[in-house]
Structure 1
Amino acid sequence: MPTPSPAAGSAATQAAAVLRRQRVRESAARTYARSFPIVPVRANGMTVEGADGRRYLDCLSGAGTLALGHNHPVVLEAIRRTLDSGAPLHLLDLATAEKDDFTTALFESLPPAFADGARVHFCGPAGTDAVEAALKLMQTATGRSGALAFTGAYHGMTAGALALTGNVAVKEPLPGGGEVVRLPYPYGYRCPFGVGGQAGAELSATYVERLLDDPSGGVVPPAAMVLEAVQGEGGVVPAPDDWLRAMRRITAERRIPLIVDEVQTGVGRTGAMWAVEHSGIVPDAMVLSKAIGGSLPLAVVVYREEYDGWRPGAHTGTFRGNTLAMAAGAATLRYVAANGLAERAAAVGARMTERLRALAGELPVIGDVRGRGLMIGVELVDPAAEPDACGARPAAPELAVRVREACLERGLIVELGGRHDAVLRLLPPLTVTDEQAAAVLDRLADAVAAASGPAVSA
C-alpha cells in the first residue's frame, strides 16, 4: 500500500477531530454516523471520498434518496439554473413556476389511472410528515380514526407514522401507540404462518379479510390501510403482486382507503417508476418523498380528488415550498423516465440478485436473498442452528455488524435493516455501472467470507 502523504495525515487528523466533536455535540439518537465513522468531503455518482482520501462505493444512497447518485450533472444544473434565475427559495405554499413544473413532471410519471383526477399536497420535507398528512386526509374523509398496518412496516418517526411502524424497539419509550390494528405481512423467509411462499401470502390475505368481517374480531372500521409494496427498513421484503391485488380488492369492497407508502420504493427503485405498477393496483393515496426531491428535502401526498375534503390549513408546514428541491426533483423524474433507468434497475438488480443467490450456495451464513430492482436484501443467519418449519435459521445480527465493518474496510458502504438488523441492504443509485455493480458484489462477497470465516469464530 502507498505511504500516506503528510497532507493525508493532516486531513485524517482533522477528520478525527470532526468525528470527536460530533460525538460530543450531537444527540445519542444519531445512527448512520455510528455505522460509518467517516467524514465525506466529495461525492460523485456512486463514489464518496472521505477526508482521509479513501474512496467508497455508496450502496446506501441516502437511504434510497439519491436515485441518480451524488451530484448528478442534471441535478446540479437544475439547482444552478434556479439559483441564477433569482427565483425565491422559500414561499410557503404559494404558486411558483418551479412548483408548477414539478407537479407536471410528477403527474406525468404516475400511473395514468391514478394521475387522472388526482390532487397533490405538499407536506413538510420528510416522508413521515407525508404519512401523517395521508392519515389525517383519510380520517377527515371517512370520519374514522383507526388504521390498518402491517408487521415489519416502517412509515416514519413522528407520532402517527410511528404508530403504524412495526419495529417495537423504536416505539417502546413512547406513551400510547395509537389505534392501529397490526396485520401479517407476507414474509416468505420468515412466514408469520409457518408455511412460506404463495401459501403464506394467501393465508395473510384470508386472515385480513376474515378479521375485518368478523363482528367479534375487535376491529373498528378504520380510516385507512397503509402498506409498502416492498418493505425497506423491514428487511427488503417484497409483497407478492397477487397479495397486493387482494389488499386492493379487500379495501375497495369495504370502502377502506388504501394508502401506499412509496417513500423508498419510488422513482424507479424497484424496476418500475412506482412499485404499485408491478401489481397494477390503483391506490387511493400514495406517499412520496426521498428521491422525488432529487437529493433535496421534499415530500408530498398524491390522492384521489374525492378525498379532498380538507379545510384550508388542515395540514400545513413552513417548508412546503422548497424551490430548489422542486427543480431538482423535476429534473430527476424526467431523467429517470427519459433514460429508462427503471428498466435498467430491473435488469441490473436481477443480475446482482442472481449472483448473490449463487454466493448463498457457497456461504451458508446467507439465509435468503430477495428484493426488487435495485432494492436488494441479504439476510444473514446462524448456519449451525436448527431451521424452523420454513427452513429459516435464526438471524445473526452480530455477524451482520462484522460484515458491515468489513465492507467499510473494503471501500463499500452498506447498511443493515430487517428483523434483528441482520439484513444487508443494497440500495445503489439507478446510475450504477456494470463495473460498479460487479465491484459491489466482489467486495460484499469478500467481506461476508472474511467476517464469517473460521478465524472469526475461533
Structure 2
Amino acid sequence: MTLAVGSPLDQAAPVPSGRAAAPRPAGDGDAVLRRQRSRESSARTYARSFPIVPVRAHGMTVEGADGRRYLDCLSGAGTLALGHNHPVVLEALRRTLDSGAPLHILDLATAEKDDFTNALFDTLPTGFADRARIHFCGPAGTDAVEAALKLMQTATGRRGVLAFTGAYHGMTAGALAATGNVAVKEPLPTAGEVTRLPYPYPYRCPFGVGGERGAELSAVYTERLLDDPSGGVVAPAAMIVEAVQGEGGAVPAPDGWLREMRRITAERSIPLIVDEVQTGVGRTGAMWAVQHSGIVPDAMVLSKAIGGSLPLAVVVYRDDYDGWLPGAHTGTFRGNTLAMAAGAATLRFVAAEGLAERAAAVGARITSRLTALRTELPVIGDVRGRGLMIGVELVDPAGEPDACGALPPAPELAVRVRAGCLERGLIVELGGRHDTVVRLLPPLTISDEQADAVLDRLTDAIAAAASTPAGTASGTAATAGQGRA
C-alpha cells in the first residue's frame, strides 16, 4: 500500500532545542515560483520539473512551502550521500565555523584541507593513493574534468580525447566536447578533437547484438580503430570514461570491458581518466566505482558527494603526470574550507558505517523488485544500475522492437511518470536517451521503510501514467512536465 504524503515516514526531523526553525519564504510558494520564473534564466532545469519551494529538509525528506513533504530520490543529482542536513555534516560545519578558520583562503594550506586530503587518500583504490597527487579545482565537477584533460594534454603533448557515446562530463568547453548529448552541444562550438567510441549499452546496443557480445565488440572496435593508420585518430592525450553513466541513463560499464579499456590505453601510453563525479563516495556499492573492476586509472575526477553537500571538486592523478607549472590551472574558489570539513566527515562516516555495502544491498533489492514489475507493467523496458544509482527505462509496449528486442522510447510517458511521482510525494528525475529513464539516486542512508515507499509510489505513478492516454495531464503533472531546459 502506498504511504500518503505527510505520513510519519515523511516527517522532517524536529528542530533541535535552542535553534530556530528555518524561515518561511515571504509570501506564498506560488509567489516565490512566479518571481523565480520572471528573474532567473530560461536555462533553469530542475525548477521546471519540480514546481515546489523547499523550506526544510532532513535525511531523505524535503518539506515544501505548502507543508507537503516529499521523499527525495534525486539527492542533489547524487551530491547528498548522507541526505539533507545529516548530523555528522552539520557538526563538522558548526565546528569549523566556531573554530574561526578562514572560509576562503585560495589554495593556501589549512588544517581543514590537510584533513580532507587525508580522509580522501585513505579511501582511494589500492595502488593509486600511494602515488597520487591532488589538485583542487573550481567548485564544480566540470572544472575538474577540464583540469584532468589539460593535465594530460600537458603531460603527453597531445590534444585529442577519446570519449564515449552517452557520456556526460560537464558544460564547459572541454567537458562539453567530451559529452555525448547532442542537444546540449548544438548551440555552441566546442573545443578539442574528440573521437567518440561506443559505450556498452545492452538494452540499446550500438552494434545491435546486446549482452556481453556488445561489450566485446566495443573493445575490439576501440583497439582496431586506434591501431588503424587510416582510422583517422591522431594519438590522443587521454581517454575519459564513466564507470556508470549517470545522465546517460544509469548504464553500468561491464567490469571486463573496463579492464579492457585499461589494457588498451596502458599498452598505447594513453592516460585513462575515470569520471567519478556522480559514482563516487559509495554510490555504486563500492567507495569508488573503479573498485568493482579492480582497475587503477591514471586520474580520477571527483566532485558532488566529496564536499558533503557543499561545492568541491578535485582531480587526483598519478604523480608522474604532475608536469604543470604554477598557475597552470587555477580558480578563485579552490579553497572551500566548509566543503572540505563536511567532505572529510562524510567520507569517514560512509567508510565507518559500511554505507557502500548498504548501498549495494538496498540497490539490489530495489532493482530486483522493479525488474519483477516488467511483466505487470510492460512500459518498463529495462531496469539497470549499480548500488543506489538505478535507472528504469520507459518504452512504448505497442511499438516495434529493434534487433535487440528493445522497444521505442516513450518520452511523454516518462514526463507523466515524473509528474505522477511528485503528486505522490516522490522526487525523481529523468535522464538517458530521449529523457525516458527514471533515475533513482536516494541517499545512502535510505531506510528499508523508505525504500519500500519509493517502490510503492514509483509503481503507482508508472501504472497511472501507463493507463492515461498520451497527451493528457492535469494539475501538478501539467506544470512539472515542462521538460528540462
TM-score by structure 1 length? 0.97
Measured in 2, the distance between the counterparts of 1:197 and 1:176 equals 33
Shift in Å, 1:112: 2.2
1:264 equivalenced with 2:269 (yes/no): no
Q: Does 1:126 align with 2:140?
A: yes
1:237-256 matches, cutoff 5 A: 237-256=251-270
Task: Say if 2:174 is the partner of 1:160.
Answer: yes
Match of 1:450 in 2: 464
The match for 1:146 among 147, 160, 177 is 160
- 1:352 is aligned to 366
Matched with 1:7 is none
Structure 2 CA distance for partners of 1:119 and 1:150, relative to 1, 3 Å: same
Task: Give the structure 2 partner of residue 435 of structure 1.
Answer: 449
Could you tell me which runs of 5 or more consecutive residues in structure 2 were left unpaired when the two chains were aligned: 6-23, 473-485
Contact 1:416 1:422 in 2 (8 A): yes
Which of 195, 220, 229 in structure 2 is aligned with 1:206?
220
Q: CA deviation at 1:166?
A: 0.1
What one-letter code is carried by the residue in structure 2 that aligns with 1:185? Answer: Y
Give the distance between the partners of 2:466 and 2:460, measured in 1 at CA: 10
State whether residues 159 and 192 of structure 2, in contact with CA within 8 Å, keep that contact through their aligned partners in structure 1: no
Q: Of the candidates 328, 333, 338, which is equivalent to residue 319 of structure 1?
A: 333
Retained in 1: the 8 A contact 2:395–2:409?
Answer: yes
Query: What is the alpha-carbon distance in structure 2 between the residues aligned to residue 198 and residue 359 of structure 1?
Result: 24
Report how far residue 12 of structure 1 moved.
Answer: 10
TM-superposed deviation, 1:360:
1.3
1:303 aligns with 2:317: yes
How many Å apart are 1:13 and its aligned residue? 5.9
Secondary structure of the 1:49 match is strand
Verify: 1:403 aligned to 2:417, yes or no: yes
Matched ranges for 1:56-455 at <5 A: 56-453=70-467
2-side partners of 1:44 and 1:186: how far apart?
37
Separation (CA, whole Å) in 2 of partners of 1:60 and 1:176? 29
Deviation at 1:404, TM superposition (A): 0.2
What is the one-letter code of the residue matched to 2:232?
Answer: G
Q: How many residues align?
A: 451
Contact 2:25 2:32 in 1 (8 A): no
Structure 1: state its 5+ residue gaps.
3-9
Q: Provide the rounded CA distance (Å) in 2 between the counterparts of 1:358 and 1:377.
A: 14
**What is the rounded CA distance, in whole Å, between the counterparts of 1:312 and 1:404 in structure 2?**
47
**Aligned counterparts of 1:395 and 1:28: Cα–Cα separation in 2:** 26
Contact residue 171 and residue 177 of structure 1 kept, 8 A: no
> Counterpart in 2 of 1:22?
36
CA contact (8 A) 2:243 2:290 kept: yes
CA–CA distance in 2 between the matches of 1:321 and 1:382? Answer: 48
Confirm or deny: 8 A CA contact 1:127 1:156 kept in the other structure. yes
Residue deviations 1:281-305, cap 9 Å, x none? Answer: 0000000000000000000000000
1:178 is displaced (CA, Å) by: 2.4
Deviation at 1:175, TM superposition (A): 2.0
Please tell me the residue identity of whatever aligns with 2:384: R
Q: How big is each residue's C-alpha offset from its partner over 1:166-204, in whole Å with a ceiling of 9 and x where there is no partner?
A: 000000000245200000000000000000000000000
Task: Indicate conservation of the 8 Å contact 2:25/2:55, yes or no.
Answer: no
Contact 1:146–1:179 (CA<8 Å) still a contact in 2? yes
**Counterpart pick for 2:68 among 44, 50, 54:** 54
How far the C-alpha of 1:155 sits from its partner, in A, is: 0.1
The one-letter code matched in structure 1 to 2:307 is G
Paired residue type of 1:444: L
- Cα distance in structure 1, aligned partners of 2:467 and 2:27: 33
Instruction: Report Cα offsets for 1:431-456 as digits up to 9, x if no partner.
Output: 00000000000000000000111566
> What residue is the counterpart of 2:481 in the other structure?
none
Aligned partners of 2:440, 2:433: CA distance in 1, in Å? 16
Aligned residue type for 1:65: T
* CA displacement at 1:107 relative to structure 2: 0.1
Moved more, 167-176 or 311-320: 167-176
RMSD over aligned Cα, in angstroms? 1.4
Q: What residue identity is the alignment partner of 1:329?
A: G
Q: Given the superposition, is the C-alpha separation of residues 369 and 266 from structure 1 closer, same or farther in structure 2, using an over 3 Å criterion?
A: same
Say whether residues 1:38 and 2:52 are aligned partners: yes
Q: Is this contact kept in 2: 1:149–1:225, CA < 8 A? A: yes
